[in-house]
Amino acid sequence: MADTEVKAADAAVAAPEEPPKKPVDPGFEPEIIVFACHYCAYAAADLAGSMRLQYPSNIRMIKLPCTGKLEVIHLLRAIEAGADGVYAAGCMEGECHYLKGNLWARKRVDHVKHLLAELGIEPERVEMYNMSSAMGAKFAEVATEFTERIKQLGPNPVRRDGVSPHAAAREALGGVAMPDEAESAAAATVQEGHAE
C-alpha cells in the first residue's frame, strides 16, 4: 500500500472520532446580561446612543453602583435562568470610583469561569471588560464582539422556558441593582440614596 493510501485510510478511521464542530445557527439570537457600572459602562452606553452607534440588541443591562457589588451568585443566577452570556463592564483598572471594585469584579468573574468549567459549560460565556464613560465606541465594540462570541458558542445548555435571565439577575441583586431610567424615572430619584 502506498504511503498516501495509508494516510487516507488513517484519516478515514480517525475522522469520525473528531468531535463534530457545532454548526452556527444563523437564526440564534442570544440573550446577554450586562452588569454595567454606573460611573463608566452605563455612561458609555448612553454616549454610544448619543453617537448613534449601532450595537446588537441582544444585550440587557443592569446598572450597578460599582462592579465591585457583583458577586459570584449574581452571575450564576443569570446563567441558571438561561442567559446565553453574561459580562460585567467596569471602569478602567486603576480608575474605579471606589478604588478596587473593578478588580474584585474581575476576580469574581474568573471564579465563575472556573465554576462553569466544572459544570462542563464554556467559561467564555462570562467575561469582564473595562472601559471609561468616554468610550462609547468601545461599549458598542464590546457588545458586538461578545454577542458574536456567544453566537459562535450557541445557546446556553440550560434553558428555562418562561424565566427571564434579566429578571432573575435583578432579583438576585435585590437592592444592589440601580433602577433603570427607562424603567422608571420616578423610582430612580430617591431610592436608596442613588439620586440622579
Which residues of this protein are in contact with another protein, per CB under 8 A?
Answer: 71-73, 76-77, 79-80, 115, 118-121, 157-160
Phi, psi at 173, each rounded to 5°: -75, -25
- The residue with cell 459580562 is 87
CA 119, CA 90: separation in Å to the nearest integer? 26
- The residue with cell 430612580 is 188
Please say which residue, 158 or 176, places its beta carbon nearer to another protein: 158
Distances from the Cα of 75 to the Cα of 59, 81, 147, 194, angstroms: 15, 10, 17, 23
Question: What are the grid coordinates assigned to 18, written together?
Answer: 473528531
Give the shortest CB-19-to-another protein separation in angstroms. Answer: 17
Please say which residue, 158 or 188, places its beta carbon nearer to another protein: 158
Give the shortest CB-158-to-another protein separation in angstroms. Answer: 4
Please say which residue, 144 or 164, places its beta carbon nearer to another protein: 164
Give the shortest CB-1-to-another protein separation in angstroms. Answer: 44
- The residue with cell 474581575 is 106
Please say which residue, 80 or 95, places its beta carbon nearer to another protein: 80
Give the shortest CB-186-to-another protein separation in angstroms. Answer: 32
